Amino acid sequence: MAKPYDIRMSNAGIDELHTTTVIDEQGNPRDIAITGERPLTIYLDKQEIVTLMTLGTHPELLTIGYLRNQQLIDAPEDIISVQVDWEVNAAAVTTRNPDRDFSNLTAKRTVTSGCGQGTMFSHVIDSLDSLRVQCPPFSAATIYNILNQLRDYNEVYKQAGAVHGCALCNKDNIHLFIEDVGRHNAVDAIAGWMWVNHITGNDKIFYTTGRLTSEMVIKVAQMHIPLLLSRSGVTEMGLTLAKQTRIGMVARAKGRHFLVFSGKEQFIPQ
């Protein structure tokens, strides 16, 4: 594995759960854990870009992955530092091109994401051929192996619920598992980690606790990952896009059961 890019990063990940007192249906008080959720405002070379609501476990990777996926930074070597300060709920990113004016970029951006998701969507549909991967052969044993290993993760979920988990795996190991209040954040943080550490997607498997909608499939395709595994269900458009990009899609994966939705010809039952 190549040496990670030399980016000065804070290490401001927080892992805490909060405790609150509730009363149950019979009126009895009970202390329970609840999931943290806090705003993180990203400043890129001192220009405010966005505020994300996050659990806060990987704020630096989330920031980098967000800027990557929004195409506001072209290459990881452009980043000098990412400093997260929870006193002001801010992530300050400095780059080697501090004179770029993001008011234009973000105006354009918002036409794409906020007001023209259709446009973005058509673009992605148009570019799906370039995102095409090839689902490799995969066995039931591989899926069971990943599901078994994932049992040790999902810590916040087990204690407090209200989060989604995403994992980057290969057929033998879990490389990284990230939980967040929004699965988009979890995906972005994993994309940030891959970018900073020169990790390619073509031999990986992506796991999520969340549903496989069109947006999830597009994000995974953009990471060049050929096999997608979910504890939840799929939508029809998610499935259509998976077939078009030749991503293998395994869903409703829980315990000893799962269903193969695409890449069926690559599946090796035990």
Give Cα separations from 165 to 73, 124, 168, 173, 208 (angstroms): 25, 25, 10, 16, 6
- Tokens representing residue 264 in the block: 């069926």
Stretches 57-65, 80-88, 185-193, 262-270: which one binds its own copies (CB under 8 A)? 262-270
Stretches 2-10, 49-57, 183-191, 201-209: which one binds its own copies (CB under 8 A)? 49-57
Query: Quick check: 101 binds its own copies (CB under 8 A)?
Result: no
The SS3 call for residue 43 is strand
- Determine how many CB atoms are found less than 10 A away from the CB of residue 136: 15
Stretches 5-13, 74-82, 168-176, 255-263: which one binds its own copies (CB under 8 A)? 255-263
- Tokens representing residue 137 in the block: 């052969």
Among 96, 98, 107, 137, binds its own copies (CB under 8 A): 107
For the CB of residue 96, give the shortest distance to its own copies in the complex, in Å.
23
Q: Which residues contact 43 (CB under 8 A, 6 or more apart)?
A: 49, 90, 91, 92, 93
Total of residues contacting its own copies (CB under 8 A): 66
144 pairs with which residues across the strands?
Answer: none
Whose Cβ is closer to its own copies: residue 37's or residue 78's? Answer: 37
Is 48 within 8 Å of 72 (Cβ atoms)? Answer: no
For the CB of residue 80, give the shortest distance to its own copies in the complex, in Å.
22
Is 5 within 8 Å of 79 (Cβ atoms)? Answer: yes
For the CB of residue 140, give the shortest distance to its own copies in the complex, in Å.
5
Stretches 22-30, 130-138, 165-173, 220-228: which one binds its own copies (CB under 8 A)? 22-30
Q: How big is the chain by its Cα radius of gyration, in Å?
A: 19
Give the C-alpha separation, 31 to 22, whole Å. Answer: 6
72: left (phi over 0), alpha (psi -120 to 50) or beta: alpha
- Tokens representing residue 223 in the block: 């990471």
Among 9, 36, 93, 228, binds its own copies (CB under 8 A): 36
- Our CA dihedral for 222, 224, 227, 229, rounded to 10 degrees, sits at -40
Query: Quick check: 143 binds its own copies (CB under 8 A)?
Result: yes
Query: Quick check: 3 binds its own copies (CB under 8 A)?
Result: no
Whose Cβ is closer to its own copies: residue 9's or residue 181's? Answer: 181
Among 12, 37, 86, 145, binds its own copies (CB under 8 A): 37
Query: Quick check: 119 binds its own copies (CB under 8 A)?
Result: yes
Query: Quick check: 52 binds its own copies (CB under 8 A)?
Result: yes
Residues that bind its own copies (CB under 8 A): 18, 20, 22-27, 30, 32, 34-39, 41, 48-53, 106-107, 109-111, 113-119, 121, 140, 143, 160-162, 181, 211-215, 232-239, 252, 256-261, 264, 267, 269-270
